[in-house]
Structure 1
Amino acid sequence: MSQPMKKSTYKSQRKAEQEKLEKQRKFMKKLMWGTGVVVLLGIIAALIFTPKADPTAFDYEQLPVLGKADAPVKIVEFGDYKCPSCQVFSQQIKPQIEKEYVESGKVAFYFMNFPFIGEDSTTAALAAQSVYHQNNDAFWKYFDILYKNQQDEHTLWATPEYLVQLAKDNAIDVDLDLLKKDIEAGTYASEVSKHKSKAIAANVNSTPTLFINGEEFTGQFGDYPSIKKAIDDALAGEDK
């Protein structure tokens, strides 16, 4: 039969247990603090050293190009042929980019469709894509003519008949019968749709919107000095 534990012995064991628990608590506290520091340092390192999101990727070879395709800087414009702001850009800003950068071989200028104003925005895009697939150089002439002859954005003016007549009146070097057929059959509807989907994926919410070497230009489309600076910065980056 076991003997009852002496009171002094019980107190000693109890004290030893408490001291042991206290040591364990302090150890766990230090461990948790150290782990927290490591986690925090890991987060900071991730923020510092994780590379920025890749620029928007474009399939440049599938787009109409103005200038040399191997130019160090590539600019993509998202536009709508019914958009008044796009008309301003095409007539006032794009010519400056052409003269200063495209003609010198420093910039290749591309266009993608973001038709959203009216149903004939898509019709005009279908016409332009048809011209592009027949003749890249003719596309840019037709591009300028579409904006030159742009009508009120609230009016349905870009009809198949009008778009073909514009090409005929301005001697666009394409097969006009094929142009008419492509518009009416929606030959390049899926292509225009892909352009629009790309715009949405890239968070484009207005036209014109420019991407310079995959990076969105967030300044004003009519502010040429700011656009020029962005191009120069991109060129400087390519030289490094």
Structure 2
Amino acid sequence: MKPLKKNILVAFISIILLIIAVFYVTPKVYAFSYGSFAAKVNNNRQIGNPNANVTIVIYTDFQCSWCRKFEENDLPYIMSDYVKTQKVLLQFRDFPLTRIHKYAFKSAEYADCAAFQGKSNYMQIRGLLYKDQSKWSEIGDLYYFFKTKAGNMVNLKKEEACVKSGIAKKLIHTDMTSGINAEVEGTPTLFIYKGLTLYKKVTGYIPFTSLNKILSGASN
């Protein structure tokens, strides 16, 4: 075989092997359409009884200190008293306040990509983002933060591939648009529905003792 033909053959085989390697090594995030992604993420961002008479839709910002307070002080009681007792369906929505919180949108991308991996993945990452809010907000490097803190919560390769694909951005913008249409003015904002009727809109953080009275009224 002539040297030129041999070099062309070697180059061709190398390209084929590279394509095969990329196909099998790259996480298959891109195999999903946006519709499939959004449906799976929305399903995994809701917790509780889908047939409950009370639904709470919560708009939050992962860099918001009042949202962190809600997550730490109110959410555990909502989970134990209302979600686990099958009284309430809880639905989370993204509402990053991008004008004042530089990394809120990106953190929502990471959270939604975690939801794409599973419901428990989402809840663990949600808790981690609020628990260590000051740490990742300070460094601004969410990839490094996840690499050092979230290795046992999500598949990091799939997580990063999902974020890099940009597929979560459209869902976050959809959440933000629905929030604006519902007149969300800050975070956290809770919409408490009794059946299909809006029972109460709660803007901003309130202690669970006050929130519990509202939820108790909606549940009866």
TM-score normalized by structure 2? 0.72
Q: Which runs of 4+ in 1 moved over 6 A?
A: none
Contact kept? 1:84, 1:153, Cα under 8 Å: no
**Corresponding residue for 1:147?**
130
- The structure-2 alpha-carbon separation of the partners of 1:158 and 1:95, relative to structure 1 and needing over 3 Å to count, comes to farther
Q: Relative to structure 2, which stretch is displaced further, 97-106 or 62-71?
A: 62-71
Choose from 60, 67, 70 the match for 2:48. Answer: 67
Structure 1 runs not aligned, ≥5 long: 1-58
The letter of the residue matching 2:112 is: Q
Secondary structure of the structure 1 residue equivalent to 2:134: coil
Equivalent position SS for 2:55: strand
Match of 1:74, SS?
strand
CA contact (8 A) 1:113 1:196 kept: yes
Aligned to 1:184: 164
Query: CA offset at residue 79 of structure 1?
Result: 0.5
Q: Over aligned residues, Cα RMSD in angstroms?
A: 2.4
> Is the CA contact 1:76–1:112 (under 8 Å) kept in the aligned structure 2?
yes
TM norm structure 1: 0.66
Q: 2:174: which partner in 1?
A: 194
Alignment of 1:158-173 (within 5 A): 159-168=142-151, 171-172=152-153
Match 1:218 to one of 198, 202, 217: 202
Q: How far apart, CA to CA, are the structure 2 residues paired with 1:153 and 1:203?
A: 29
Equivalent AA in structure 2 for residue 210 of structure 1: L
Give how far 1:146 is off. 0.8
CA contact (8 A) 1:128 1:139 kept: yes
Q: Name the structure 1 match of 2:29.
A: none
SS at match of 1:81: coil
1:132 and 2:115 correspond: yes
* Cα distance in 1 for residues equivalent to 2:62 and 2:158: 21
Q: Deviations over 1:47-98 (max 9, x none)?
A: xxxxxxxxxxxx9x93511222222211111101000001110000111111
1:231 alignment partner in structure 2: 215
Q: 1:115 to 1:226 in 2, by over 3 A?
A: same
Change (3 A) 1:145 1:234: same
SS where residue 218 of structure 1 aligns?
strand
The more displaced of 211-220 and 150-159 is 150-159
Helix, strand or coil at the partner of 2:184: coil
Structure index of larger Rg:
1
Do residues 112 (structure 1) and 96 (structure 2) align? no
Residues 69 and 205 in structure 2, CA contact (< 8 A), matched pair in contact too: no
Which position in structure 2 is the counterpart of 1:102? 83
Q: How many residues align?
A: 175
- Give the counterpart letter for 1:108 in structure 2: L
Decide whether aligned partners of structure 1 residues 225 and 219 sit closer, same or farther in structure 2, where only a CA change above 3 A counts: farther
- The DSSP-based 3-state class of the residue aligned with 1:206 is coil
Measure how far apart 1:99 and its partner are.
1.2
Aligned 8 A contact 2:60 2:189 in 1? yes
Is 1:209 the counterpart of 2:193? The answer is: no
Partners of 1:113 and 1:123 in 2: CA distance: 11
Q: Determine the C-alpha separation between the residues in 2 that align with 1:208 and 1:158.
A: 24
